[in-house]
Amino acid sequence: MILQQYQDLPETMTKMAVAKLLADFLQAADSDTGEQNYAKLDIIGDKQWHTYEVADADVRQKLSHWLEANWEENQDYFDMVLGVCYCFGLEKSLFMRALQGYHGEQLWEYVQMLDNSVGKTIDPYWSMKPLKS
């Protein structure tokens, strides 16, 4: 799919539809530039977050593997990885790897995401939970 087709997707999708979209992306990603892939993954991440469900473990594993196999040392990549890790609830270790190289404006937000995620994965919905008193 070309970037415009991703941009034209419905605002909300099912978890299964997002998993299929990601699988199709992972299969075709080698044919695109880094910037196109970043933009597509940002859109897919947004669709995943708006399912209000954490992606299945196999989906998260495939995405994590792709991100690690295609790792780039630049701010745009780090920003995309941080957002995708957040939206999909990926491992904190991958999130922290990108966070170490990130020097952008949203640094404090990413640190807050990390600090408010209990366990080994990022909690995409931590801010929607009731505050503890």
Per-residue pLDDT tens over the stretch 32-82: 778 999 999 999 999 999 999 999 999 999 999 999 999 999 999 999 999
Using only the alpha carbons of the chain, give its radius of gyration: 14
Query: Quick one: average pLDDT of 25-30?
Result: 88
Q: Is 91 helix (H, G, I), strand (E, B) or coil?
A: strand
68: its two tokens: 């690690």
- The answer to whether the CB of 68 falls within 8 A of the CB of 98 is no
Distance CA 28, CA 1 (A): 8
pTM, entire model: 0.91
Tokens of 108: 């404090």
Could you identify the residue written with the tokens 């040392």?
73
Rounded to whole angstroms, how far apart are CA atoms 88 and 94?
A: 12
